[in-house]
Every structure is written in structure tokens, then in C-alpha cells.
Structure 1
Amino acid sequence: MKTKIYFICPSNNFASGGVKQIYRQVETLNKNGFEAYLLLKKKRKKENWFNSDVPASYSPLIFKQLKYLYKQKKINFFRNIILKFLKAQSKKIEADSILVFPEIYGPDIHKIEPEIFKVIFNQNCYYTFQYFSIRESYKTTPYNHPKTLATIVASKDAERYIKYAFKDTKVLTMRLGIDDKIFRYSKNKEKQISFMPRKLGDDVMQVINILKQRNNLKDWALVPIENKSEAEVADIMKNSMIFLSFNHKEGFGLPPVEAMSCGCYVIGYTGQGGKEYFKPEFSSQVEDGNIIQFVERIEECIEKYERNSEEILAKGKLASEFVIQNYNLNIEINDTIKNWSNITRIKN
């Protein structure tokens, strides 16, 4: 009998690389001989910002337990009644299963279904200690608990971080893949600068308004990407010559890589995890928080494009080729199969 693998997955109304990667892992595993499910808080409406069709189970109980734990709520009589009520509505997790938790749920993940084996899918190492306290010493964490089989990360930077922070944990790296059928290279670029304003809103506001005040944009359009489907995001990127990266403490940071795949020249922050793909041959790295340098790099790129558009177009083509070679779906699929074959061997 196959081991059932349940991925605890938050539901988002906005585009989220983390949620998309959970869906993708479940999809990949089921296509390659494993039995995997999303484990959601409640029966879902299909995420409308990307296409995926994967099996799901539901456990309002686990999500409520997680909430009580990371908010440090004591289980009083009333809360115990709520938990019993939710248990009756929730999927019973089989004893031989594996529960996969994102890093965002804090220091007590191992207390959920304590007899069940677990894996941490840590997509952003900089969120690892989000609900930890500086007043406590954690001798046992989800990362070094004997029931934790491994921690999966998505970049070299994240691997280094987790291994340094938790020296006894087993870390497996899964390189992320970009679907180049969706984020497809396009040479038909417009004088368009696209960006995602959801993170680092203060920095976005400063960079965009300084650009407008200096009046050096000429006939270039500024296009924010928000509340769009995956296909709509890709269309904007395919039309954009420049993409602005406001990566902030990212384990990897998908949007700049997706933009590169579409042939954009990317300018901005690496967010640490992005250091492995921000190459000077086809992108321009900005020191975190350096607003003036950010604007200067954008203006320099505009000036170069106006003087010789082929130079910037060639860099966008080079960026796309780099992504297709180093971050394609086959690499992600192979890493996923290899990692989970390793995990199931450890478990058995």
C-alpha cells in the first residue's frame, strides 16, 4: 500500500508562488507513482489565478490547532468543544501517512498529529522563525524532531540557512521550474516596465514616484501586476522590456525568474535567494533598500534601450535561455521524484 502524503495548504485569493508550488508538487507526485493530496481548511473553490487539478482532503481541525498553537492559545473548555466539533468534519489522517507543512506555521508543527511522520516544505527560510519567541530556548523544533523526515528547500541560499540554523536536520533541495509554455519568451517588447506592488509597498511607492518626478520615462509605461491570473501575468511580462524585482527576504523568489523566462531585463532586489539567478550578463542587481540606486539603474537601462534597443533585447534573450536551461519543469520534476523517493526510504 502506498504511503499517503498530505500537503497542508493555505487558500489565497491572490497569486502566491508558495501555494502554486504546493499544488505543483502534489500534481507531480500523483503523476509519478505517489499518492498525494492537498489538505485544505475547507472545501475549496478552485484557485482562479492558475490552472491545476489535484486531489484534496479537508481538515478544519488541523488548521484550528495550528492557529491555537502559533497564537499560543490555551485549550480551555470552550476551545476543546470547538476542536471536537471540527474533528467530526475533518479527514482522519492514516497512521502510515506523511504530513507536509509549510514553514509559516511556526515552532509547534510537530505537536499536530504527534505520531504521524512529517516533512517541512520550507519555501522561504526567512519565515522560519516567524512565530518563534526570543524569550524561549527551543530544544525541540519541527526541524530536529525525530518524527520529521526531512526539510525541503528551494534554493542554495535556503539550504545553507536551514543547515546552519538546525545542524541535525536532513535538508533536501528542490530546484523550481518555470513553465515556458506559459512564461514564454517574446521578442515583441513594448516600452513597458512591469512590477508587482504586493511586497515592499513603501519601496515600490518611492521608486515609482521618483521616476515620475524626474520625468525621464519619456514614452515608457509603468504597469503594476496585481489581481491577475497566471496567464495574464505572463502576458504582461511578455510585453514588458523591463521587470522590477521587489524581492524581500525570499527563499527563492519566482516572479523575477518568470519575467526572465519571458525575455525581460530584470532590475532590483535579489531578496537573498535570488542571488543564484541575478546574473550581471542579463540583469541588474540593486542593494536592498537603496531607492536612489534602484531608480538610477532603471534610468540607465531606458537610456541604453533608447540608444541601442538590440543590446537590451539581447540581454532579455540571454536571460530566457538561462532560465530554460537551469529552471525548467523537467529539473523540478526530477528533483521532486528524487527527494520523495529518498523520504519514503527513510520512513520505511
Structure 2
Amino acid sequence: MSRITGLASRSLEAYRLRAEMRRRQPPQLRYVERGADVPTIYYLAPDLDAAVGGIRVIYRHVDALNGLGVRARVLHGTPGFRSTWFEHETPVVYTPDVELTGADVLVVPEWYGPTLDRLPAWVTMVIFNQRAYDTWDFVPYETTGKGSPYAGFGNLKALLTVSQDNADLLEYAFPGIPVHRVRNVIDADLFHPGDGTPGRRISFTTTRRERERDQLLHILRSRGVLDGWDVVPIVNRSETEVAEIMRDSAITLSFSDREGFGLPPAEAMACGSYVVGYPGLAGREFFDPAYCSPVAENDLLAFARAVEAACASYDEDPLAFAKAGRVASERVLSEYSAERLDGELLAFFTPLTTRS
């Protein structure tokens, strides 16, 4: 029986790997020998119309570069496709309509890691790794060697990432490839505190640590901590709706797990919500205990105690409690501003797009 179970498990794993490799197959790219009057930076993006923070960041980079006078486009494989869960007027083009030249730069997300070898060797490439802890997902161990999966690309210029934590990991894993960090942006026009004091609402996103989240909520409910609180999971919401929920939440729970950055807790802080939970490693750069309650990784008991303490603090003095959330908002919006991102993008891409 154990042998049959083992065979079934291996067959299932092989099927999952094949399915994922098909899903992560990059679109066909075309190249022409002629030069280009103006180089273009193409951000290749998966055709996934779901609330994926990494895709939102890709669109934001393209908007920022165009605003700086640098020609940039989001590149999708399916004609007519574009992300619809956030508002934008980002210029989008499609691989059947695009001919890359030697002057152009292709920015490829780490999501394509298992199939990077299917991209043409001639393209000048930057890997945009927004979640370094996923770098080797679905890459068979038996097929990797030194520098995999980024080895063998003669025109790979650099790795781009969004947190110092991830930059440190990538620099260690790939000592021969330059690594640059550009900060994420929290949109102050969207993520900002409300006029009044948030009510007795606890919100959280649902994309991480599902089983641990369920355990935590059971513990809190069994102790009566959640009595009188509106507990709101954030699921399948637009960016605007997410901001509204966070703004109206006295407390936001963070279930971050081995993050590239951790946008949800940062956005909650920007909305003035008091964040309790896991920094997810990368989030340590903005999880300051002066204005939130960071919890050590996997410490469920500490998490439960921190939530109970936050609820009690709110009930004791809602105005004073909300003040900590507003301090968090000021710090986060100042550190992760569009102006700072602009300078970092310009410093990174100028050498790659300037003809010698």
C-alpha cells in the first residue's frame, strides 16, 4: 500500500509540475536587427486578472518611467488583455505586435523562473524578483546548477527587487549578478486615514497562512476577544474597496509569510489602521513596534495575545489608539513615496538605455 501511495504522490507531483510549467510558459518574442530611435523598457506581465500585488507594481513602474520621460510598456501575451482590478491608464502592448531591438530592455518577473530558458538569449534582460523566497518554485532540483535559474543568460544585466531583505538573499544566492533594490509605493491618494476614528472592525487579507489564520480566529473567539467586533476578510475586492475597508478598521491582522515586501500591512498602516501580526521577514523594514505590533514568525500564542492587547487598548481609549495608526501612516507614506521610487528607477535604467 505504501508503494502505491508513493507512486500516486509522485505522479500527482509530476502532473502539478507539468501544469505549472505550461501556465508559466513565456509568450513568443520577436526580434529585429534594426536599431531603435528610442529604446523601450518592456515589463513582461502574466495574463492574470486577479488581485496580485506584483502585477500592480509592474503597472506602477511603467507609469512612473513614462512620467519621467522614459519610454516603457507593459507587455502581455494575449491581445486585448489588461488588468482590471485597479484603475489605470497604463500603456499596454502585446507580444504579437512587438518587435524587440538590441536597444530595448525586457523586464521579466521571477514568476517565469521555471521557464526562463525558453526566452531568447539575445534579449537584454532584467529579472524583476518581487518575492525572492519563490525564486526556485517549480524548478526541479535535478536540473539546477550554479547560478540557476538565472545562469546562462549572456544579456542578463541585473536583478531588481523591492526590499532590502530580498536584496540580501539574492546577493547571497547569485554573487555574480548585480542586485538593485527599488522601493514599493503606497499610493497616498488611495491609502490614507479617514477623518474620524475607525470603528470596532478587524480586517485581514486571505492570501497567506489560511490554516494558521483559522486557528487564531478560533482562539480569539473562544476567549471572547472578538465579541462586539466586526471581523472582515478582504477577498476579491478592488484596490479602492481594499483601502476603504482598511481605513474603517481599527485593527488589521498581518499574515505575511516570506514576503518580497508585504504590501497589505503597509497599505493598512497608510490607512491609519493598527497592524498586528507577522512581518513576513521583508516587512521588518517598516514593522516598527512604536506604531504596530510585530509578532515573531509562527508564534501563534504571541499573535493571539497581541490581538487581545490591541482590542483592549482600543476599548480603553479609541482616540489614543488611533493616534498610533496615524503615526504609522505618516512614516509609511513618507518612506514609500512615488518621488523616491522615481529617483531609484531613473538611476537603475538610465545606464541600460543610454547608448555609448
Q: TM-score, normalised by structure 1?
A: 0.86
AA partner of residue 344 (structure 1): T
Q: Please say if residues 194 and 242 of structure 1, whose CA atoms lie closer than 8 Å, have aligned partners that are also in contact.
A: yes
Q: Which residues of 2 match residues 213-232 of structure 1 at below 5 A?
A: 213-232=222-241
Shift of 1:211: 1.8
1:153 maps to what in 2? 161
Shift of 1:126: 0.6
1:324 maps to what in 2? 333
1:253 maps to what in 2? 262
Q: Which residues of 2 match residues 11-90 of structure 1 at below 5 A?
A: 11-59=47-95, 89=96
In structure 2, which of residues 291, 300, 303 is the aligned counterpart of residue 294 of structure 1?
A: 303
Q: Does 1:97 align with 2:115?
A: no
In structure 2, which of residues 155, 178, 194 is the aligned counterpart of residue 170 of structure 1?
A: 178
Q: Please say if residues 117 and 149 of structure 1, whose CA atoms lie closer than 8 Å, have aligned partners that are also in contact.
A: yes
Q: Return closer, same or farther for 1:101/1:221 CA change in 2, 3 Å cut-off.
A: same
Q: Please say if residues 156 and 273 of structure 1, whose CA atoms lie closer than 8 Å, have aligned partners that are also in contact.
A: yes
Larger mean Cα displacement after TM superposition, 5-14 or 194-203: 5-14
Q: Which residues of 2 match residues 88-237 of structure 1 at below 5 A?
A: 89=96, 91-109=98-116, 111-139=118-146, 141=148, 143=150, 145-186=153-194, 187-237=196-246
Secondary structure class of the residue paired with 1:321: helix
Structure 1 runs not aligned, ≥5 long: 60-88
Q: Please say if residues 243 and 256 of structure 1, whose CA atoms lie closer than 8 Å, have aligned partners that are also in contact.
A: yes
Q: Please say if residues 110 and 118 of structure 1, whose CA atoms lie closer than 8 Å, have aligned partners that are also in contact.
A: no
CA deviations 1:26-61 (Å, max 9, x no partner) are: 1111121222111112124442321111222223xx
Secondary structure class of the residue paired with 2:41: strand
Q: Please say if residues 121 and 154 of structure 2, whose CA atoms lie closer than 8 Å, have aligned partners that are also in contact.
A: no
Secondary structure class of the residue paired with 1:181: coil
1:71 maps to what in 2? none
Give distance in 2, aligned partners of 1:140 and 1:216.
49
Give distance in 1, aligned partners of 2:43 and 2:84.
19
Q: Does 1:279 align with 2:288?
A: yes
Secondary structure class of the residue paired with 1:104: helix
> Could you say what the CA RMSD is over the residues aligned between the two structures, in angstroms?
1.8
Shift of 1:277: 0.5
Give distance in 2, aligned partners of 1:91 and 1:342.
23
Shift of 1:199: 1.8
Shift of 1:151: 0.9
Shift of 1:140: 5.0
Larger mean Cα displacement after TM superposition, 7-16 or 115-124: 7-16
Secondary structure class of the residue paired with 1:24: helix
Q: Please say if residues 238 and 263 of structure 1, whose CA atoms lie closer than 8 Å, have aligned partners that are also in contact.
A: yes
Larger mean Cα displacement after TM superposition, 125-134 or 294-303: 125-134
1:344 maps to what in 2? 353
Secondary structure class of the residue paired with 1:193: strand
Q: Return closer, same or farther for 1:238/1:300 CA change in 2, 3 Å cut-off.
A: same
1:239 maps to what in 2? 248
2:39 maps to what in 1? 3
Q: Please say if residues 41 and 58 of structure 1, whose CA atoms lie closer than 8 Å, have aligned partners that are also in contact.
A: yes
Structure 2 runs not aligned, ≥5 long: 1-36
Give distance in 2, aligned partners of 1:96 and 1:113.
15
Structure 1 consecutive aligned stretches of length 4 or more whose deviation exceeds 4 Å = none
Give distance in 2, aligned partners of 1:296 and 1:308.
19
Secondary structure class of the residue paired with 2:59: helix
Q: Return closer, same or farther for 1:156/1:219 CA change in 2, 3 Å cut-off.
A: same
Secondary structure class of the residue paired with 1:106: helix
Q: TM-score, normalised by structure 2?
A: 0.84
AA partner of residue 262 (structure 2): G
Give distance in 2, aligned partners of 1:132 and 1:92.
29
Q: Please say if residues 76 and 82 of structure 2, whose CA atoms lie closer than 8 Å, have aligned partners that are also in contact.
A: no
Give distance in 1, aligned partners of 2:178 and 2:54.
21
1:311 maps to what in 2? 320
Secondary structure class of the residue paired with 2:142: coil
Q: What percent of counterpart residues are identical?
A: 33
